């Protein structure tokens, strides 16, 4: 299809142009058409102003100017810049360029006519313009009416050339352009058809048409993403036979009777859902979302026991060695008394021990295997795997999940556990292929963690409190934003805090330094020492964020707490308050600004991870928290999962409806592949 043909099929586009375009990632005609203009960067010629008229309020404005001179300098923030002075008949303005844009700016010649868009502010001698998008004028340009797109440029590309080629591609599209959405959906949502939308996103006749075109492509992307995820699930439902586990039997009864507590109502409900899924012949794809400390591990133990009870094997994959080791211990304590054989696969294992473990696994002499990414390796072969659990899933992607489930000739059940509370709309995008079980609250008998926010002045008092906890036989974490001192960042490092404590208040106390740059074995030894109570105070970084369980730890001090997001602080705080003693979390802010302190105060008031995650997003805004690629999903070109939440819900609903229609599968699969290509193919083919 012409869409996938190289750009050289367009008349007037030769090998040299193609090479320039390739630098910008444009290889095919389709790439060219999907090379959308920069966000909010269209030049509206009707808004052209004289320099004298430009408002100096920092908003984006458009004007023309003739280059007078260019000079380079070294700014106060230590950044090189190039300043270009331009003028029109009314006044002068200075354009500032940083980083790679400097080089282009340096090549500007006096007398050249420019079209300029940028943010205008007051300057020392002339108006100052930053975030400039400039374009050299030629005769034809000056005459062009309407709204013009501004494209991101690389290499030798220019706005004028890109516009010319995109017009050529649009002419090609006008001859024959397949629709990329089911016609019924286009009609139902009153979207512009694809050709109209493509024309209008590049060369909009007016702003309304541009908005509609953008909305269509946002919807299209999200709709096809949802279709892809649903398709993936449907396919593994339909084509690979799942394993039907039986109703609860003797082994499960034994495991349950051996638990040191009874399940809470929330746990019971989640377990019911999981257990019914496992008894179904369709493979389970379920995510268990539960706040830190909500008691997810025991649920995974029951699910694993169920697999074993039915004569199969199960595995659980954790993101770090420490966490895997801890799961191993916990699962052993829950499962071994009932006769389940649990094994641990680590990266640092000696070759002989590893060989032996893997042989036993293949022979079915190991029932449950615990490990990290090491589980995904080729030579890890099960006799008959029926359940794959992944813990703290935000670190694993769809592809990794697929690789794990491919270790069985049948489609094993999949259980994903996460403590990252993700608002529902996001969960739909990121986990669109999974059912969700939710556990709110905590098991009984655990006091809420008391959270206190202080500034630097209280440091000595906080240290005194630390010593009191240690003297009472408890343990503490001190979390720092950095490992070692940094010239650029004004924040306390784990190394310096460790030295300070060691030579001061904790002189006679056994404390240790633990951070992510240490070797796996070293970290593990320290963590084990802490878990065993041999180490009283652990000075560390966010490596301990995930899952470690030490009930005797009753105090956490977070240095430079203002540097962390609320959700992350909440995760960190979840490391204490795991026993029956009153626990404390002290947030030491390295700043006195009221905003920073008010932000942290939210943690004092709430222990609800879901509420905090929403607050976090409000405060930190879009895109900070999630990248889709991190989850193994294709990056989105134009949709934004934080901004377009309403569209996500609508797209999801329509995708479900659409796929339910007889015969819709193949059509939709083709559309999804056209949109996302290789990214989804790998998953489809599993």
Return residues touching Mg ion (CB under 5 A): 547
Smallest distance from ligand ADP to CB 602, Å: 21
* Closer residue to ligand ADP (CB): 607 or 658: 607
Q: Find which of ligand ADP, Mg ion, none residue 578 binds, CB within 5 to 8 Å per kind.
A: ligand ADP
Smallest distance from Mg ion to CB 263, Å: 16
* Closer residue to Mg ion (CB): 283 or 547: 547
User: Can you say how many angstroms the Cα of residue 204 is from the centroid of all Cα atoms in its chain?
Assistant: 33
Q: How far apart, in whole angstroms, are the C-alpha atoms of residue 585 and residue 577? A: 9
Q: Find which of ligand ADP, Mg ion, none residue 298 binds, CB within 5 to 8 Å per kind.
A: ligand ADP
Residue ranges of E strands in 377-474: 385-391, 413-418, 435-439, 450-455
Backbone angles phi, psi at 451, to 5 degrees: -110, 130
* Closer residue to ligand ADP (CB): 43 or 255: 255
Q: How far apart, in whole angstroms, are the C-alpha atoms of residue 60 and residue 65? A: 16
Q: Find which of Mg ion, ligand ADP, none residue 292 binds, CB within 5 to 8 Å per kind.
A: ligand ADP
* Closer residue to Mg ion (CB): 371 or 547: 547
Contact 586, 559 (CB under 8 A): no
* Closer residue to Mg ion (CB): 192 or 547: 547
* Closer residue to ligand ADP (CB): 417 or 668: 417
Contact 638, 217 (CB under 8 A): yes
Smallest distance from ligand ADP to CB 240, Å: 30
Q: Find which of Mg ion, ligand ADP, none residue 85 binds, CB within 5 to 8 Å per kind.
A: none
The two three-digit tokens of residue 528, written as one number: 């084990």
Q: What are the residue ranges of helices labelled H in 150-206?
A: 159-175, 183-188, 194-202
DSSP-assigned beta bridge partners for residue 85: 69, 94
Cα separation values, 494 from 292, 485, 498, 576, 606, Å: 24, 8, 6, 19, 27
Q: Find which of ligand ADP, Mg ion, none residue 529 binds, CB within 5 to 8 Å per kind.
A: none
Q: Find which of ligand ADP, Mg ion, none residue 295 binds, CB within 5 to 8 Å per kind.
A: ligand ADP
* Closer residue to ligand ADP (CB): 27 or 582: 582
Residue 334 DSSP class: H
Smallest distance from Mg ion to CB 300, Å: 9
Q: Find which of Mg ion, ligand ADP, none residue 594 binds, CB within 5 to 8 Å per kind.
A: none
Smallest distance from ligand ADP to CB 575, Å: 10
* Closer residue to Mg ion (CB): 201 or 567: 567
Smallest distance from ligand ADP to CB 288, Å: 9
Q: How far apart, in whole angstroms, are the C-alpha atoms of residue 302 and residue 283? A: 17
What is the DSSP code string of 250-319? HHHHHHHHH-SSPPPHHHHHHHHHHHHHHHSSSPPEEEEEE-TTS-HHHHHHHHHHHHHHTT-EEEEE-S
Smallest distance from ligand ADP to CB 237, Å: 28
| Mode of pairing for the β-strands spanning 342-345 and 368-371 | parallel
* Closer residue to ligand ADP (CB): 162 or 292: 292
Q: Find which of Mg ion, ligand ADP, none residue 358 binds, CB within 5 to 8 Å per kind.
A: none
Residue 676 DSSP class: H
Cα separation values, 372 from 223, 377, 395, 446, 448, Å: 33, 10, 11, 30, 31
Q: Find which of Mg ion, ligand ADP, none residue 649 binds, CB within 5 to 8 Å per kind.
A: none
* Closer residue to ligand ADP (CB): 331 or 537: 331
Q: Find which of Mg ion, ligand ADP, none residue 394 binds, CB within 5 to 8 Å per kind.
A: none
Cα separation values, 206 from 117, 142, 524, 534, Å: 19, 19, 62, 70
Cα separation values, 438 from 267, 289, 384, Å: 9, 5, 29
296-309 vs 250-258: helix axis angle to the nearest 10? 150
Q: How far apart, in whole angstroms, are the C-alpha atoms of residue 668 and residue 673? A: 8
The two three-digit tokens of residue 3, written as one number: 């869409």
Terminal CA-CA length for the chain: 26
* Closer residue to ligand ADP (CB): 145 or 445: 445
State the residues that interact with ligand ADP by CB under 6 A: 261, 263-264, 267, 290, 292-298, 419, 443, 445, 547, 549, 551, 578
Q: Find which of Mg ion, ligand ADP, none residue 261 binds, CB within 5 to 8 Å per kind.
A: ligand ADP
Smallest distance from ligand ADP to CB 552, Å: 11
Q: Find which of ligand ADP, Mg ion, none residue 632 binds, CB within 5 to 8 Å per kind.
A: none
Contact 126, 85 (CB under 8 A): yes
* Closer residue to ligand ADP (CB): 552 or 650: 552
* Closer residue to ligand ADP (CB): 295 or 371: 295
Smallest distance from ligand ADP to CB 324, Å: 13
Smallest distance from ligand ADP to CB 86, Å: 59
Smallest distance from ligand ADP to CB 135, Å: 55
DSSP-assigned beta bridge partners for residue 450: 584
Smallest distance from ligand ADP to CB 439, Å: 8
Smallest distance from Mg ion to CB 223, Å: 34
Q: How far apart, in whole angstroms, are the C-alpha atoms of residue 62 and residue 66? A: 14
Ranked by CB distance to Mg ion, the top (closest) residue is: 547
Q: Specify the DSSP element, H or E, that contains 131.
A: strand 127-136
Q: Find which of ligand ADP, Mg ion, none residue 577 binds, CB within 5 to 8 Å per kind.
A: none
């Amino acid at each position: 299809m012409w869409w996938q043909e190289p750009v050289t099929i367009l008349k007037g586009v030769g090998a040299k142009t193609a090479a320039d375009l390739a630098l910008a990632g444009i290889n095919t005609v389709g790439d060219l058409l999907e090379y959308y203009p920069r966000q909010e960067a269209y030049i509206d010629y009707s808004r052209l102003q004289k320099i004298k008229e430009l408002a100096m309020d920092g908003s984006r404005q458009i004007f023309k100017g003739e280059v007078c001179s260019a000079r380079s300098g070294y700014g106060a923030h230590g950044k090189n810049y190039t300043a270009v002075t331009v003028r029109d008949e009314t006044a002068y303005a200075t354009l500032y360029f940083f980083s790679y844009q400097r080089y282009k700016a340096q090549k500007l010649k006096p007398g050249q006519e420019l079209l300029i868009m940028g943010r205008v502010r007051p300057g020392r001698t002339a108006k100052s313009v930053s975030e400039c998008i400039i374009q050299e004028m030629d005769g034809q340009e000056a005459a062009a009416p309407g709204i013009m797109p501004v494209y991101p440029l690389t290499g030798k590309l220019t706005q004028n050339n890109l516009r010319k080629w995109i017009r050529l591609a649009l002419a090609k599209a006008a001859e024959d352009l397949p629709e990329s959405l089911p016609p019924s959906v286009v009609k139902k949502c009153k979207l512009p058809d694809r050709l109209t939308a493509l024309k209008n996103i590049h060369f909009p006749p007016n702003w309304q048409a541009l908005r509609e075109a953008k909305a269509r492509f946002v919807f299209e992307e999200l709709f096809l993403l949802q279709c892809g995820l649903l398709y993936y699930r449907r396919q593994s439902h339909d084509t690979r036979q799942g394993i039907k586990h039986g109703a609860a039997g003797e082994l499960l009864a034994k495991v349950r009777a051996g638990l040191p507590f009874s399940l809470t109502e929330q746990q019971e409900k989640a377990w019911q859902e999981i257990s019914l899924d496992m008894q179904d012949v369709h493979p389970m794809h379920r995510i268990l979302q539960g706040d830190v400390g909500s008691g997810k591990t025991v649920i995974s133990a029951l699910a694993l026991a169920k697999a074993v009870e039915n004569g199969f094997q199960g595995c659980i994959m954790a993101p770090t060695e420490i966490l895997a080791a801890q799961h191993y211990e916990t699962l052993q304590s829950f499962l071994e008394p009932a006769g389940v054989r649990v094994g641990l696969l680590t990266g640092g294992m000696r070759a002989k021990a590893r060989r032996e473990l893997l042989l036993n696994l293949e022979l079915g002499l190991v029932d449950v295997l615990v490990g990290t990414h090491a589980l995904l390796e080729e030579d890890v072969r099960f006799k008959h795997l029926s359940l794959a659990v992944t813990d703290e899933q935000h670190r694993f992607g769809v592809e990794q999940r697929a690789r794990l489930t491919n270790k069985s000739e049948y489609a094993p059940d999949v259980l994903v556990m996460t403590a990252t509370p993700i608002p529902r709309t996001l969960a739909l995008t990121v986990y669109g292929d999974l059912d969700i079980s939710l556990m709110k609250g905590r098991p009984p008998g655990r006091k809420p963690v008391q959270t206190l926010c202080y500034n630097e002045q209280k440091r000595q008092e906080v240290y005194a409190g630390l010593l009191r906890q240690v003297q009472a036989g408890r343990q503490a974490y001190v979390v720092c934003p950095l490992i070692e001192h940094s010239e650029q960042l004004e924040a306390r490092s784990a190394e310096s805090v460790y030295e300070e404590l060691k030579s001061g208040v904790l002189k006679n106390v056994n404390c240790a330094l633990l951070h992510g740059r240490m070797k796996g074995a070293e970290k593990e030894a320290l963590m084990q020492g802490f878990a065993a109570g041999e180490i009283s105070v652990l000075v560390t970084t966010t490596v301990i964020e995930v899952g470690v369980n030490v009930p005797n730890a009753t105090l956490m001090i977070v240095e430079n707490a203002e540097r962390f997001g609320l959700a992350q602080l909440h995760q960190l705080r979840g490391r204490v308050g795991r026993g029956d003693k009153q626990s404390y979390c002290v947030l030491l802010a390295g700043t006195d600004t009221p905003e920073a302190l008010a932000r942290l105060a939210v943690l004092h008031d709430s222990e609800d991870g879901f509420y905090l995650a929403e607050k976090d997003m409000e405060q930190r805004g879009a895109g900070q928290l999630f990248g889709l690629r991190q989850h193994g999903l294709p990056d989105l070109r134009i949709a934004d999962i934080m901004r377009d939440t309403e569209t996500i819900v609508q797209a999801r609903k329509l995708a479900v409806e659409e796929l339910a229609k007889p015969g819709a599968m193949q059509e939709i699969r083709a559309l999804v592949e056209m949109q996302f290509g290789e990214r989804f193919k790998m998953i489809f083919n599993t």
